[in-house]
Structures are given as C-alpha cells and as structure tokens.
Structure 1
Amino acid sequence: MTLIGSVQRAMRLLEAVAGHERGAPAKQLARETGLALPTAYHLLRTLVHEGYLRRDGGRFHLGAAVERLGIGAAEQKRRGTIADTLGRWRDSIGAPVYYAVYRDGEIDILGVADTPGNPAVEEWADLRETAHAHAIGQCLLAQLDDDARRDHLERHPVRPLTPYTVRDSDTLLRRLERARRAEPVVERQEYALGTVCAAIPITIGGAAASMAISLPSDQAERLLPAARWLQAELERLMGSRALFISI
C-alpha cells in the first residue's frame, strides 16, 4: 500500500504542475495537493531525478519524460486508428489489407488486417529485401526518383522468388518508369505462388506510402475491382489526412 500511495501522491503532484503553465513552487504544490511539505519535496525531487519534472528558478515544470509519455499515447492512438480503419476495409473487401511507408531508405509495414478465413500473405522472404517482387514494394519504389530506386536496388538486389518474379533490375526499372502515378500496381504470383496483390500509391508531400490487398490467385478477377473500391475510400479520407499523420 505504501508504494501505491506514493505513486498516487506523485501523480497528484504531476497533475498540479500541469495546471500551471509557468510552473509552481513546492509550497504551492504541497498546498494544492494536500501533502505535507516534506513529502511533497521528496516526491518532487524524485520526479525531477526521473525526468518527469524539471526545476527552474524554484518553480517546477513538466519534464521531457512527460512529453515522451504524451507522444507515446498519441502514437498508440494513431496506430489504433489505423488498425480500426484497416479492419473495416478488410471486412468490406473480404481480403487482407496492408499499409506501408517508405522511409529512411527502407519499407516499413505499419499495419496488416486479416482474418483466419482471409489470411495475409506469409512473409517467407523479408519484405524489406524483396521490394522488387511484391506489389507494395513496387508501388513504393515507383514513387521514388531514379537515384533513390537504384540506391535501394543496390542494397537489395533483384533475385527470383518464383518463376514469375522480374529477373533483373533493368527490367524492373523500366516497369517502374511505366507505372502510372495514380494507378494500382499489380503483381501476380511474383512474391508467393498462388497469390495476387494490388497496391495503391499514396503520396503526401515528399513521403511515399501504399495501401494494398492480396487474394488467392483463383480469385484474381476480384483484385482490380477491390483495389478500385479501396482507392475510392482512400481518396475520401485524404482530405483530413487523419489516417496518414504518421508519414
């Protein structure tokens, strides 16, 4: 109970400090929280030591650790929003939905929504190293300039994964050059046999992102209609950019 009580008192002090834009002295904080002054001093010193508060001119202010907590909470909320949106689209399409970005020279899959009945493609080869073979990677590379594409392919060379995978970087680069900016990128069994995928480009400022779906190859006729539906949903949300604030 002593530890729990200390945590509760420390939280009360943090809440009190948060209520003062210009900070507050220990005596005022002790009075506002109903704590004895020695107890308040002890907790305030501990909070300063841990980075949750900082002391400046005898007044206590929120510290960097509290700011990191706020950023973490915002990140969790953002990821929850992405997961909820992907889940709704997955249910509407009846297919797995993927969300990825290209940053710091690598592909980063930020979200995947699937179900046992419609499972995501098994990542049997690292998606970051095989951008040439899957729709997400091709879609992201198509949004880069030529130098960035070549740099990526020098670090992650083209290699065959299936009989349908593009065979060399020159062929891939020509294909990427022909990709139309707002059109879905489609690959058929290039990454995994028995699977077809379509990826939709998303460009906000200088950032490259992609939303994609996958289907069994025997449902290939559904691929483009489903991709067009998803593209329309994306365009509807792009005004607020609520889903893409992380890019």
Structure 2
Amino acid sequence: MAESWTIKSLSRGLQLLDLMAEQPTGVTIKWLSAVSKIPLSTCYHLMNTLVDSGYVQRDRTRQVYTLSYKISYLHNQVQMSHMVPDELRMVAQKVSQELRETSYVAKWESNEVIIQYIAEGDQAIKVRSLYVGYQEHAFVHALGKVILAHISPKDFHAYYIHHPPQRRTPYSRIQWDEIQRERLVTRERGYSLDEEEWEEGICCIGVPLFNYTSCVWGALAVSLPRHRYDRLNQSTISYLQQEAQMVSKKLGYQNIYRSINQQ
C-alpha cells in the first residue's frame, strides 16, 4: 500500500496471513520471504509477533507455520454477521449435489461483490483462491460478472474506478469495451460465463439473484474443470436459472426470468 497513513508492518503481516491461507499444510518463513519479497529477518519478526498474538501456530515437528484457531474464530464471527438465507444455502447445496460440482453464492453488499457461501460436490474441483469473504477480481469470475451486469451504470462506474480490472490468466477480458460487451450479453441471455478467465483449466457459470426491490441481490454460480465444461449442455444452465428464480421469489422478487428455452 502506498498511502502515507497505512502502517507498513501491519500491512506486511496481513500479507503473510493471506499467503498462509493458500497453503493449509503449512509454510516456512523462508518460503514466505521468497514469495512476499519481504526480507527474511523482517519475516521472522512478523511471524514471531503473529505467533505471540495467537493468529499463527508453529509446528515444531515439521518446522512449519499454520494459521491458528483464532483465525477460525474471526471467520465464524464474519459469517454470523453476514448470514446467507437458509433457502439460498439449501439451494447451493442442492445444486452441488445435483451437478456434483462446487457451487458459490455471492452478494452485492456495500458496493462490493462478496462471496458468502461455498458448497462442494463429490467430484468437485474447488477453486482454491476463492473463499468466503473474498471480494476481488469480480470482472473475471462468473459471480462478479453476473452481478456487475445488473447494477446501475452509476454503481458500475464507481466500482470500476475503485477496482481496476486485472488480468488473472491469458484469457481474462479486462479491456473496457470487452467488459461492456460482456455486461450486455450477460443481461440479455440471463447468465455469465467465465471460461478460464479466473483460473486456467477452470470454467464457471453464474446466474443472478434478485430481491423484492427488483434489484440484484447477488449471484449463484457453479465451477467445473474445462473438460467437463466442454461437455456441458444447455439444460444445466436452464437448471441453474430455475433454481435461482426460486430463490429470488423467496427474496420477494416478482418478475419472470428469461429462460434458455425462450431465447
């Protein structure tokens, strides 16, 4: 962070926690230093502070560091304050069981696209870097695409200014004209597609969820590996839309969705 009012050491400590979250089996301080570009001696001081504060624990047998129960406590508190409606949680689980793939729920809240629930199927390939609370790179994943396609031009412009699109893979579409074209197509067909834009080898389909004000509440999405995505038929997308429509009705939405069969 470049702002003069930020505390550099705190920012670095949080960076280390983010990196550790992506390596659940544990990391060494040398690895953290190499990946974060933070000097080794500074990494040692930061990790000692995190261990002393209870946010990180050291496995002396394997000589690695992992996140502690205190991180889980914070995560649970966040989840409790942003509870997903029971109906939506049940639908996400149903979709995962039916399609045997990982499903995701995101909400448009405080002008952010925030992932709020993840349900894994029995043959699922989970996108490791997506987790509950994640709210970045919405231009290149299906949840973000479908939500951003349905917000107002004013809100979209503000979001674009505060979240400049960043390329995640060679397939990411991040140019202004590409994004605007994608928004239009997504609104017209009623769903979004992420074809390896977020992570190579992984594709995702997203459908919008609306509330009683007829505004977008959030999105439901499913991810799957490219080889299963290529064999996908339109009935799967229609199924996702039908499930999303049912949830939207429970959120008070009255309008009729466009289905695949009507296009």
Pair 1:186-2:193 in alignment: yes
2:153 to 126, 130, 146: 146
Structure 1 window deviating more from structure 2 (110-119 vs 147-156): it is: 110-119
Q: Deviations over 1:185-230 (max 9, x none)?
A: 1110000000111100122213431111111000112264322112
Q: Deviations over 1:8-49 (max 9, x none)?
A: xxxxxxxxxxxxxxxxxxxxxxxxxxxxxxxxxxxxxxxxxx
Q: Deviations over 1:137-194 (max 9, x none)?
A: 1101001122211211111111111010013233212321333356111110000000
1:108 to 80, 104, 114: 114
Q: TM-score, normalised by structure 1?
A: 0.60
The 1:195/1:145 distance shift into structure 2, 3 A limit, reads same
2:225 to 216, 224, 231: 216
**Structure 2 unaligned blocks of 5 or more:** 1-78, 253-263
Q: Which residue of 2 aligns with 1:120?
A: 126
CA RMSD of aligned residues (A): 3.0
Q: TM-score, normalised by structure 2?
A: 0.57
Q: Is contact 1:181-1:201 (8 Å) kept? A: no
Using the alignment, how far apart are the partners of 2:146 and 2:170 within structure 1?
21
Using the alignment, how far apart are the partners of 2:82 and 2:138 within structure 1?
26
Pair 1:225-2:235 in alignment: yes
AA in 2 matched with 1:240: K
Using the alignment, how far apart are the partners of 1:150 and 1:109 within structure 2?
21
What is the aligned residue count?
A: 171
Alignment partner of 2:250: what SS? coil
Pair 1:161-2:175 in alignment: no
AA in 2 matched with 1:188: E
**Structure 1 unaligned blocks of 5 or more:** 1-71, 243-247
Whichever structure has more helix as a proportion of its residues is 1
Q: Is contact 2:139-2:174 (8 Å) kept? A: no
Structure 1 window deviating more from structure 2 (222-231 vs 202-211): it is: 222-231
Larger Cα-atom Rg: 1
Alignment partner of 1:132: what SS? coil
